[in-house]
């Protein structure tokens, strides 16, 4: 707890929290990163699941740098957002759930990148099935991550109830 | 500007009449899970919108050139699903805000957000009206896109990112919450 206070009261934490501009700016970047990471991932997932099947899967590999950029933008802005309210966010179980879900989503995305999109040109039936399972897992994980993320805005203040 | 002010005043007055007649904000306020669920759906919708429409726009700017544009376009209905999710939940927010009824219609960030959405629609209309849509649909994989397609795609990306920005700045630029 003392460590969390130390984080929150650090120069960076205080600067962001007390600035009228910095906190909204960083939160906005976090939203944009989410939109491109999750959004483009969903685009690839939909293709893997068979929509617009005439798009060659391998051709979508050029979208991945944008996804990874979104991820790193969110990793950096996310750390800053955690630090500036460390005592609230890092004592909130829902935040940890979100982080695990995000990590899982990223692991699945990496697998999709290497095994499905960059995989051999003619995927065997087993590998194609594998791709579908990953795509479904990806969509589910990101939906849950968004849900958990949104809920931290409430569990953080602790007045939200079912 | 007088016209805009008058139109907004009319919109606010109509909204307040609706709210008084139906008690919708009170219903939303009473069922405390409605607003958070709507927010979650709003975020899911925006991700679908940015991912599918944004992905298509990135292709229009010339990224991922091996992706056939016509085929990629077949995913656009999912982007529309995202947009409709956002529209539906957005209407709920505007109509159901019990904390400060009519708030959003007086919020400058909200008004910019709506303007950017309208401009994105105009941009889409230009895409079709100029025949650019027809031109890009016959491109083969590997072909670069014409300059007008790059401009339209880039404009769309900027506008939708702007929509996210103004949405995020509702409590800051305006006075929401």
Look up the ipTM and state it.
Answer: 0.93
Residue of B78, B165, B169 lying closest to A46 (CB–CB): B78
CB A35 within 8 A of CB B47: yes
CA dist B109 and B115 (Å) reads 10
Helical pair B34-60 and B147-168, crossing angle rounded to 10 deg = 160
What's the pTM?
0.92
Q: Work out the mean pLDDT of chain A and round it to a whole number.
A: 88
Is 80 exceeded by the pLDDT of residue B155? Answer: yes
pLDDT at A120: 61
pLDDT digits (tens, 9 = 90+) for B37-79: 999 999 999 999 999 999 999 999 999 999 999 999 999 999 9
pLDDT at B171: 86
Q: Work out the mean pLDDT of chain B and round it to a whole number.
A: 94
pLDDT at B173: 80
Between the two ends of chain A, the Cα-to-Cα distance in Å is 28
pLDDT at A159: 39
Nearest-Cα distance to chain B for A112, in Å, is: 16
Is 90 exceeded by the pLDDT of residue B36? Answer: yes
pLDDT digits (tens, 9 = 90+) for A108-136: 999 999 877 776 654 555 555 568 999 99
Contact call for B43 and A55, based on CB within 8 A: no
Q: What is the token pair recorded at B31?
A: 């069922």
Chain A contact probe: residue of B43, B51, B86, B166 with most A CBs at under 10 A: B51
**What Å distances lie between residue B11 and A81, B6, B53, B103, B154, CA to CA?**
37, 9, 30, 12, 32
Residue A74 DSSP code: H
Q: Could you give the percent of chain B with pLDDT greater than 70?
A: 98
pLDDT at B2: 87
**CB-based contact, B54 to chain A, within 8 Å:** yes
b/e code B145-154 from CB counts within 10 Å (16+ = b): beebbbbbbb
Residues 6 or more apart in contact with residue A128 via CB below 8 angstroms: none
Q: What's the rounded mean pLDDT across residues A86-101?
A: 92
Per-residue pLDDT band for A155 (boundaries 50, 70, 90) equals: confident
Interface of A with B in 6-25 (CB under 8 A): 20, 24
CA dihedral B89, B93, B98, B101 (to 10 degrees): -140
pLDDT digits (tens, 9 = 90+) for B95-132: 999 888 788 998 999 999 999 999 999 999 999 999 99
**What Å distances lie between residue A155 and A96, A162, B57, CA to CA?**
12, 12, 36
Residue of A52, A61, A150 lying closest to B74 (CB–CB): A52
Q: What's the rounded mean pLDDT across residues A51-66?
A: 94
Is 70 exceeded by the pLDDT of residue A1? Answer: yes
CA dist B53 and B149 (Å) reads 14
Residue B143 DSSP code: P
**CB-based contact, B27 to chain A, within 8 Å:** no
Residue linked to tokens 């007390």? A18
Contact call for A54 and B55, based on CB within 8 A: no
Per-residue pLDDT band for B176 (boundaries 50, 70, 90) equals: low
CB A57 within 8 A of CB A116: yes
């Amino acid at each position: 707890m003392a460590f969390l206070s130390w984080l929150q009261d650090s120069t960076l934490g205080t600067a962001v929290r007390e600035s009228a501009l910095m906190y909204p700016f960083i939160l906005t970047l976090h939203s944009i990163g989410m939109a491109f990471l999750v959004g483009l991932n969903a685009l690839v997932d939909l293709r893997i699941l068979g929509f617009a099947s005439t798009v060659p899967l391998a051709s979508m590999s050029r979208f991945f740098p944008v996804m990874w950029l979104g991820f790193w933008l969110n990793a950096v802005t996310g750390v800053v957002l955690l630090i500036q309210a460390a005592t609230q966010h890092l004592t909130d179980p829902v935040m940890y759930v979100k982080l695990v879900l995000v990590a899982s989503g990223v692991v699945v995305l990496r697998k999709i990148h290497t095994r499905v999109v960059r995989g051999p040109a003619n995927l065997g039936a087993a590998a194609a099935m594998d791709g579908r399972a990953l795509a479904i897992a990806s969509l589910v994980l990101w939906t849950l991550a968004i849900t958990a993320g949104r809920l931290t805005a409430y569990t953080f203040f602790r007045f939200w109830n079912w | 500007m007088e016209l805009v002010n008058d139109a907004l005043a009319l919109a606010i007055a109509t909204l307040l009449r609706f709210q008084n007649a139906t008690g919708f904000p009170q219903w939303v306020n009473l069922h405390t899970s409605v607003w958070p669920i709507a927010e979650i759906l709003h975020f899911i919708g925006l991700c679908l919108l940015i991912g599918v429409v944004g992905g298509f726009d990135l292709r229009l700017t010339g990224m991922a050139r091996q992706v056939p544009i016509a085929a990629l376009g077949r995913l656009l209905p999912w982007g529309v699903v995202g947009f409709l999710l956002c529209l539906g939940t957005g209407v709920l927010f505007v109509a159901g805000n019990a904390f400060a009824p009519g708030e959003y219609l007086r919020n400058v960030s909200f008004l910019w957000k709506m303007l950017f959405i309208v401009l994105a629609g105009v941009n889409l209309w230009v895409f079709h009206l100029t025949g650019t849509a027809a031109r890009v649909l016959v491109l083969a994989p590997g072909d670069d896109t014409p300059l007008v397609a790059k401009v339209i795609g880039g404009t769309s990306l900027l506008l939708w990112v702007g929509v996210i920005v103004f949405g995020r700045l509702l409590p800051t630029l305006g006075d929401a919450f």
